[in-house]
Amino acid sequence: MNIHEYQAKAILRDFGAPVAAGFPVLKAEEAAAAAKQLPGPVYVVKAQIHAGGRGKGKFKEEAAGPQGGVRIAKSIEEAEAFARQMLGHTLVTIQTGETGKQVNRLYIEDGAAIDKEFYLSMLIDRATSRIAFVVSTEGGMDIEEVAHSTPEKIVTFSVDPATGLMPHHGRHVADALKLAGDLAKQAGALVEKLYAAFVAKDMEMLEINPLITTKDGKLRCLDAKVSFENNALYRHPELMELRDLSEEDEKEIEASKYDLAYISLDGNIGCMVNGAGLAMATMDIIKLYGAFPANFLDVGGGATAEKVTAAFKIITVDPNVKGILVNIFGGIMRCDTIAEGVIQAVKEVGLKVPLVVRLEGTNVDLGKKILSESGLNVIPADDLDDAAQKIVKAIS
């Protein structure tokens, strides 16, 4: 689960990490009041969307003005004017894709006098099963680009969970960022606080880009991006409250209600498959025959007809879907359950696109019989290859 920058900063603040003062606002009228509570004279108006690259982003609508999603205001009036321009408009960044994201919240933050910008992130390194730090003197910019063109400028290390964080980790970060004296001390203290927050909140990733030094010699987290491990969310009701459903894909929200493993994609062939491996193979073969999947969907092993119906509905309501491929290998899952679920869903929402069904395994004959007697316009397929070719042909 992802959260907004202002929410991430509130968590970091709770753990004692240095972040600037700021206030989230939902309406442009609130912007001036928020700015008045800040020291000034520079205010930063920041679009709150679940995507990075806001500073270099561009708004789609002219009314949103010519600047990006992070703007420096030199007066309270200017902060309010920026808020008016940005709210309700669609911001496109390298991370949002072409469609962009509507800006519904802003964060009005105290402007910092930046001396240097650094990069610091923490994540779970699956290879070592440890929390890893990634730090670089090249902050504020695209870290992927730094990793690509100047990999020597990125320092990574991981923390042994048996010892936990040790003072040498803090010194390592300070060295990597070429900080000395009091700033090195501040870096050590910051690393301790970030590590404590990361562990306590079951984070999956914490990215501070940029981490800055100010002209008056202070270290500060100027941006914060946090995501949490979904499997640990049950331990954190306080985090669940931070979820912003308007940032999430509606189809994915619906799927999560039925405990379906569903991920929305850009293509136009809807897939309903059981088993993650088979789902991946199905997506691969669709691509092999020249089309693109509209989703990843694993209905799971013991799905009920109700769950299958829900899954099929999620696929059919997607306007991008021009054809549907059902590919089921019945093991624990029975083919007749799939057939019944599909028929139920079509009764409820109709079927306006070609449907190719490939069934194999437990109760396959019964499943095929149910489908063929249903009067549905189903294109039956014998195997995975046949199924993929038929659905690609049916939509082209």
Locate the DSSP E strands across the chain.
Answer: 22-25, 43-47, 58-59, 70-73, 90-92, 101-102, 106-110, 114-125, 130-136, 154-159, 203-214, 219-221, 225-228, 261-264, 269-273, 295-298, 323-330, 355-361, 378-380
Asked whether the beta carbons of 289 and 388 are under 8 A apart, the reply is yes
Find the shortest distance in angstroms from Cβ 111 to Mg ion: 15
Dist CA 192 CA 334 (whole Å): 52
Asked whether the beta carbons of 218 and 186 are under 8 A apart, the reply is yes
Q: Which of 110, 192, 223, 318 binds Mg ion (CB under 5 A)?
A: 223
Q: Residue 293 has what DSSP assignment?
A: B
Interaction of residue 93 with Mg ion, rule CB under 5 A: no
The answer to whether residue 207 is catalytic is: yes
Catalytic residue among 5, 138, 204, 207: 207
Of the candidates 185, 174, 208, the one whose C-alpha atom is nearest the C-alpha of residue 9 is 208
Positions in the binding site for ligand ADP (CB under 6 A):
20, 44, 46, 52-55, 70, 109, 111-112, 114, 117, 140, 209-210, 222-223
Strands 101-102 and 90-92: antiparallel
Binding partner selected for residue 70 from Mg ion, ligand ADP, none, CB under the kind-specific 5 to 8 Å limit? ligand ADP
DSSP H or E run through 81: helix 76-86
Considering only the stretches 124-132, 194-202, 216-224, 360-368, report the one whose residues sit in contact with Mg ion under the rule CB under 5 A: 216-224
Contacts of residue 16, Cβ cutoff 8 Å, sequence gap at least 6: 193
**Which lies closer to ligand ADP via its Cβ, residue 97 or residue 277?**
97
Is 46 annotated in a binding site? The answer is yes
Is 274 annotated in a binding site? The answer is yes
- Among positions 275-304, residues that touch Mg ion (CB under 5 A) are none
Interaction of residue 209 with Mg ion, rule CB under 5 A: yes
| Residue 293 dihedral angles phi and psi, to the nearest 5° | -70, 145
Is 363 annotated in a binding site? The answer is no
Is 209 annotated in a binding site? The answer is yes
User: 208-229 burial, b for 16+ CB within 10 Å, e for fewer?
Assistant: bbbbbbbeeeebbbbbbbbbbe
Is 270 annotated in a binding site? The answer is no
**Which lies closer to ligand ADP via its Cβ, residue 170 or residue 210?**
210
Interaction of residue 340 with Mg ion, rule CB under 5 A: no
Dist CA 146 CA 67 (whole Å): 25
Catalytic residue among 6, 43, 119, 195: 119
**Which lies closer to ligand ADP via its Cβ, residue 137 or residue 389?**
137
- Among positions 148-207, residues that touch Mg ion (CB under 5 A) are none
Binding partner selected for residue 31 from Mg ion, ligand ADP, none, CB under the kind-specific 5 to 8 Å limit? none
The answer to whether residue 98 is catalytic is: no
**Which lies closer to Mg ion via its Cβ, residue 56 or residue 215?**
56
Considering only the stretches 131-139, 185-193, 223-231, 251-259, report the one whose residues sit in contact with Mg ion under the rule CB under 5 A: 223-231
Contact residues toward Mg ion (CB under 5 A) are: 209, 223
- Residues annotated within a binding site for Mg(2+): 209, 223
Which residues line the annotated binding site?
A: 46, 53-55, 109, 112, 117, 209, 223, 274, 331-333
Tell me which residues are annotated as active site: 119, 207
